[in-house]
Structure 1
Amino acid sequence: MQVLVDGGEFRDADARNRSITEFIANVKLLRVLPVGTSEYRSVAARIRMLGPGLEAAGLFEVVKPRDPEVATLLSG
Structure 2
Amino acid sequence: MPSLPSPAPERLDPPAARAPTRQLRALGWRDPFRWLGLGAKDLRAAPGISLFYGLCFWGMALLLGAVFRRMPISANLKQFEC
TM-score, with length taken from structure 1: 0.28
Higher helix share: 1
Higher relative contact order (CA 8 A, sep 6+): 1
Higher strand share: 1
